[in-house]
Amino acid sequence: MAYPEPMIRPMREEVTRHGVMELRTVAEVDGVLANPSGTQLVFVNSVCGCAAGGARPALALALQHKAKPEQLYTVFAGGDVEATARVRSYFSDYEPSSPSIGLLRDGEVVYFVHRHQIEGRPPQAIAADLVAAFDRYCEAGSREQ
Amino acid sequence: MPGMIFHPGHQELHGITVVLETTGPVTYVGRFDTEDARGVHLLNVAEHHRASSPYPLEEFLVQTQKFGVKAERKHLVVASSLVGRIRKLGELDG
């Protein structure tokens, strides 16, 4: 069952204002993940405190880095239930958690941040982990938007 | 951040995924909810049993850190007298 949209809309916008595309349906998810190329980040957003205090601000910080994934996507766990489940099918080796962040390169999961790597940590520390992954797997200045 | 309360008004470990080693052969990994007179309440819990699990505990924890908690139970209460050690999953070495 989804949370009321007026409640979660600001949480969505906190991510999408950074140029991250929301995937709200199964078709939208498959449209970008079924035939992948390049680097794709998928941010599983959620209502919990560790999304608000950790993951979302960390993402905002990390996206200021010169090396970034070429494509940026987000789904909302507890908002777009089917889309979130579909996204998780592309990360099937990883247990579902939210918030979480997955990085794919040419369809292969190369980096994953679980909730347990977010909870209780300041956003700067989470962002540092993301930036290290971006430096390793992404190219500077290669992002299309 | 030492001493930071993740959720104000709750115990320090509330909402944190922990590794709870019991005084016996079982180790649980789950989200710490609270500790009360009944014991430690964990949510979305995975279990490792020294005698029957396919991997040694150390390997189980490495796999859990990498691939996440494979929850088998939604809620578990571990009597305080059976709690050996609690550590944060995100702070384990390796």
Q: Which residues of B touch A116 (CB under 8 A)?
A: 16-17, 65, 68-69, 88-90
Tell me the two tokens of residue B54.
């396919």
- State the CATH number of the domain containing residue A117: 3.40.30.10
Q: What is the pLDDT of residue A1?
A: 73
The closest CB to that of B7, out of A49, A93, A97, belongs to: A49
Q: Is residue B31 included in any domain, yes or no?
A: yes
Residues B44 and B70: their CA atoms lie apart, in Å, by: 8
Residues A7 and A23: their CA atoms lie apart, in Å, by: 18
Does the pLDDT at position A70 exceed 50? yes
Q: Is residue B6 included in any domain, yes or no?
A: no
The β-bridge partners of B34 are B41
Q: Is residue B4 included in any domain, yes or no?
A: no
Residues with Cβ within 8 Å of B25's Cβ and at least 6 positions away in sequence, in order, are: B49, B50, B51
CB contact under 8 A, B67 and A95: yes
Q: Which residues of A touch B4 (CB under 8 A)?
A: 120
Q: Is residue A79 included in any domain, yes or no?
A: yes
Q: Model confidence over B18-40: pLDDT tens digits?
A: 999 999 999 999 999 999 999 99
Q: What is the pLDDT of residue B10?
A: 72
Q: Is residue B7 included in any domain, yes or no?
A: no
On average, the pLDDT of chain A sits at: 94
Domain range enclosing B50: 17-89
Q: What is the pTM of this model?
A: 0.91
Burial (0-12, 13-18, 19+ Cβ within 10 Å), B24: exposed
In sign, the C-alpha dihedral spanning B62, B80, A50, B12 is negative
**Amino acid residing at A122:** P
Q: How many domains does the structure of chain B reveal?
A: 1
Q: Is residue A57 included in any domain, yes or no?
A: yes
Q: How far is A85 from chain B (nearest CA, A)?
A: 16
Q: Is residue A61 included in any domain, yes or no?
A: yes
Q: Kindly list the residues of chain A whose beta carbon comes within 8 Å of any beta carbon in chain B.
A: 48-50, 93-97, 114-117, 119-122
Say yes or no: ipTM exceeds 0.90: no
Query: Rg for chain A (alpha carbons), in Å?
Result: 14
Domain range enclosing A19: 5-137
Q: How many domains does the structure of chain A reveal?
A: 1
- State the CATH number of the domain containing residue B84: 2.30.30.100
CB contact under 8 A, A50 and B6: yes
Q: Is residue A142 included in any domain, yes or no?
A: no
Q: Is residue B10 included in any domain, yes or no?
A: no
Of the candidates A117, A31, A141, A66, the residue with the CA atom closest to the CA atom of residue B65: A117
CB contact under 8 A, B69 and A49: no
Q: Is residue A144 included in any domain, yes or no?
A: no
Q: Model confidence over A7-63: pLDDT tens digits?
A: 999 999 999 999 999 999 999 999 999 988 999 999 999 999 999 999 999 999 999
